[in-house]
Structures are given as structure tokens and as C-alpha cells.
Structure 1
């Protein structure tokens, strides 16, 4: 089978959104080259030694690449992708230069070309994300190792929004909690939460492809047995009560999620949400406060923000 590689030249802040556009358009995997991430790629105890000069990379901004089988009409697809990428300005994201390029690929190139970009990465104090084909030895007893297949897209834990969520989870998980993961994508947050000690996890995503991706990544971590992954639109129709809800989604989707999260959280429960570009932070904070959430803290990385909020315990106090 022949494939077509469609690459979008964009900015660091638009990487997550552009990745979603390519995946929604039918990409069978997404490769991300980010100039900021590449600057951090060095020899170290958590990955192999690399000769940076030998690795192709972007000098500035970012390039997001999707892969499409020959059954896809790329001639019609490319203008649609370009229109959607340029339309990200409506969400206060700068996608420039928003250039869309194409390149034919053979099956063998598609299967292996992107693997050299992925290596074990320490994401938080205790969590290391490892590509499923890599052999990795823990450096400390308390280290948690999470296996993922980066070729399935939906995030590998390295994007700032995912890192912020993982850091917040590590800070707030005490062990034995009930957790809901909204917009699970690759399942990285759910799998990490399980390894951190959460008792039971429900993970939801509107996209069946994302659900399948999360299920496959779950198989790569056979020690994790407590995650239920299903398709669902945010928390519509969900009656469960959780100690923690985590959502790594864009601010525009967080807005309708806030009242749903309040209904599904136990009194005093924690709502962790990321995917918030800094310009949107005041809007999200206002929505949370309107729903009587108490803002515990705000985490930041590059232009992205994550908010940790606590559901008020006032109603419980009134009953007592």
C-alpha cells in the first residue's frame, strides 16, 4: 500500500489543535517536530545518547505530519485541512505559517520513519513514558514506567498540556481515589493515574478511534487492570461520582464541561483541566468560580495553563 504524508508547518501553541485536525481527517498516526522540544533533546540517564546533528528537525516553530492511505483523496483533503488550520485563529491560536505540504510514501517508510523521534522521557518526578518498542530499565524503585505507542497519535505525554495534567495528578493523588478522564485520547492520563495509585478509573472520548487507541495502549501496560474506557460526549449521561476529574481539552470545550464536572464530583473533589492557552485563562477561571469551584492553583508551561479546582463542600456542611 502507498501512503501520502501531509505535513503542516505551524507554531508551537497550535501543535495540539493541528494534530487533532489531521487525525480527524483520517490520519493513521501523527508525527510532531517541535523546535522547542528538540532544544531539550540531550543525552541523559533516561534515554539513549543521540547525535543531534544527525536528526532531521525544524529550526523554528513546529511541523505536524499525518499519514493517509491511498484510499483517501488527498487532492480534496489538503484544501480542507488548510482551511481548518487557518481557522484556528478563531480560538485565539496562531497557526502561522500554516503551510500544508505533501509527500508520497511507501508502506515501509510509513511504518518506521517516525520511530527515531521517540525515546524514553521523564515527564514528572516519578513518571517516565517509554515507546513500546524500547527496552528501558527503571533508575529508582519509586519510578513509574508507562508504555505507549506514539504511532497511534493522541499524545504521548510530552506536550505541555499533557505534562501539566500529569504533574497535577502526581501532586493530588493520594491513593484509592475514583477518577474520571474526559477526552482520554491516548489514555496516557488514565494509565498514569492508575500507576500513581487511583483505585478505579472511567475514561471517555467522543472519538471511537481515540477509544481504540487508549485500549491498545492499555494492553501495553498489563499491570493496569482498573480502567474502563468508553465512547461518550464529555460527561453527558454519566452518573458516577468521582474524587478527581481530569480533562486535557481545549478551553472552548472546557466551558460546557464545568457544570457537568461539578455534578460528577464528590464534595471536595478535585477538577484538573488543561489545554488552556494563556489568553483563555480568565474565561475558564470565571466559569469555575461561577460554578462555586475553589481555585487551588494554576500551573503553567510555555503559553499553556492548567487549573486545579476544588468542588465546594458547602452543601455537605449544610446537611450536617
Structure 2
């Protein structure tokens, strides 16, 4: 089968929303070439466990690639994708070069080539994320391994926003906590919460593909008895009480349900928010404060910010 490679040269800020647009358009795989990965620092005692080649990355900006089958609907699909991406400008998202290129590839060329970008990575003091096909031996008995297969349409779990969330969960979670993961995607944050001692995790996502992916990954990591996955729009009609809510979503979306998070959280409960580009930091912070939250800690990696907030 022949496939069309859709490549867009954009910004780090736009990676998440652009990837989401490509997934919703039916992409059979997404690759992110971010030069920040070449010099990324994960913090004390943390680091990438493999070497990347600079030749595979742009000098500046980020390249996002997606793959679509070559068929009679392809031209229409590509135009709809371009229109949706340009629509992100209405949400004040910097698209950078916003340059799109198309090329044709054979199935065997891309089906395995993207795996060179994905190796085991230690993202926090106790969590290491590894692809299912890689062998990895834990450094000590306290290290938790999360296995993911990005072929199921979502990222590798090593984007700064995800790493910040995992580090924040590790700081805030208490054994036996009940957790709600809003916009679960691959389910990696729910899995991390379960492995770090949560008694029950409710993973929510509006996207049916995400729901299925989170279920598969939960089973892959043997936490399906703890993690319950549900198709749901943010926290709408969620009336159970939680000790901790985590949301790795765009800032524009976070501010829409901060009030609902305050309602769902138990007294003194914790709300972890990530997916916030630095220039949106104050907007989210103000919204949290206005809804009765106390900012306990602000975490930052590159241009991304995460808040650990407590319900007062």
C-alpha cells in the first residue's frame, strides 16, 4: 500500500493541537521531530537513556509528520487538515513557519522507521516509560516501568507537558487516593497514578480512539483493575469526589472547567494542570486563584508550565 506523508514545520507550542487534528483526521501514525529532544534535561538523576542523531531533526521549530493512505479522499482530507490547523490561530497558538509538504512513501518504509525515535526514558524519580518492543532492566526495585505502544495513535509519553504531570503526580499523590485524569489520551498519566499508589483512577476523554487506547495501555500495564476509562467531555456530569485531578490539556481548555474541578475535588484535594505554554501561565494561574485554589508549586520544563494547586 502507498501512503502519503503529511509534514508540517511548526512550533513546539502547536505540537499537541496539531497532532490532535491529525489523529482526528485519521492519521495512521504521527512522528514528532523536535530538536529540543537533543538537549533536553530531565532534572537531577534523570536523563534520556539513548542517543539521538541531530540529522533527524530541524535546526529550529518542530516537524510533525503524519501518514494517510493514498485514496480518492486524500486531497479533501489534506485541505480539511490545513484549514483546521490554520484555525488554531484563532486560539492565539503560534504556528511558526506553518509549512506543509507532502510526499509518497511505501508502507514498509514508515511502519518501522519511526521506532528509532522511541527508546526507554526515565521521566521522574521512579517512573520510566518504555516502548513495548524494547528490553529494559530496572535500575532498582523502586523503579516503575510504564509500557506504551505509540502505534496506537498517541505520543510516547515523553513530551514536556506529560513529564511535568508525572513529576507532579509523584510529588502530590498519597497511597489510596482516588484520581480523575481529564483528557487521558494514551492513559499514561492514569497508569502512572495507579503505579504510584492510587486506589482508583477514572480516566476521561471525549475521543473514542483515546478511550480505546487508554484501555489497551491499562491492560498492557496490568492496572485495569484500578483504572476505569470512560468517554466523557471534561468533567461534565462527574459527581464523584476525588483526592486528585490531573489534566494535561491546552490552557484554553483548562480554564473552562476549573470551577468543575473545584466541585469534584474533596476538601484539600489537589488539582494538577499541565499543557500550559509559558505565555498562558498567568491566565491559568489567575483562574485557579479565582476559583479558590492555592498554588502550592509551579513546575517548568522548556516553555511549558504545570501547576500543583490545592483546593482551599
Residue matched to 1:174: 174
Residue matched to 1:47: 49
Mapped partners of 2:74, 2:96: distance in 1 = 22
Deviates more, 1:64-73 or 1:191-200: 64-73
Residue matched to 2:136: 136
TM-score (norm 1): 0.91
Secondary structure of the residue aligned to 2:13 is helix
Query: In structure 2, do the counterparts of structure 1 residues 139 and 191 end up closer, same or farther at CA, with 3 Å as the change threshold?
Result: same
Task: Determine if the alignment matches structure 1 residue 160 to structure 2 residue 163.
Answer: no
Equivalent pairs counted in the alignment come to 308
The answer to whether the 8 Å contact 1:3/1:67 transfers is yes
Alpha-carbon deviation of 1:40?
4.1
- 1:1-320 matches, cutoff 5 A: 1-40=1-40, 47-48=49-50, 50=51, 52=53, 56-71=56-71, 73-222=73-222, 225-312=225-312
Alpha-carbon deviation of 1:289?
1.5
Mapped partners of 1:132, 1:21: distance in 2 = 26
Mapped partners of 2:168, 2:47: distance in 1 = 24
Mapped partners of 2:121, 2:149: distance in 1 = 13
Secondary structure of the residue aligned to 2:184 is coil
Secondary structure of the residue aligned to 1:12 is coil
Mapped partners of 1:62, 1:113: distance in 2 = 18
The answer to whether the 8 Å contact 2:160/2:304 transfers is yes
Alpha-carbon deviation of 1:287?
1.5
Secondary structure of the residue aligned to 2:275 is strand
RMSD: 1.9
The answer to whether the 8 Å contact 1:30/1:152 transfers is no
1:132-173 CA-partner distances (Å, limit 9, x unpaired): 111110011111110001222333221111111111000011
Secondary structure of the residue aligned to 2:125 is coil
Mapped partners of 1:293, 1:45: distance in 2 = 32
Secondary structure of the residue aligned to 2:158 is coil
**Ranges in structure 2 where 5+ consecutive residues have no aligned partner:** none
The answer to whether the 8 Å contact 2:11/2:61 transfers is yes
**Ranges in structure 1 where 5+ consecutive residues have no aligned partner:** 313-320
The answer to whether the 8 Å contact 1:183/1:247 transfers is yes
The answer to whether the 8 Å contact 1:194/1:226 transfers is yes
Alpha-carbon deviation of 1:271?
0.5
Secondary structure of the residue aligned to 2:119 is coil
The answer to whether the 8 Å contact 1:21/1:84 transfers is yes
TM-score (norm 2): 0.93
Mapped partners of 2:24, 2:59: distance in 1 = 27
Mapped partners of 2:185, 2:20: distance in 1 = 10
The answer to whether the 8 Å contact 1:82/1:98 transfers is no
Secondary structure of the residue aligned to 2:163 is helix
Alpha-carbon deviation of 1:222?
2.1
Mapped partners of 2:183, 2:151: distance in 1 = 18
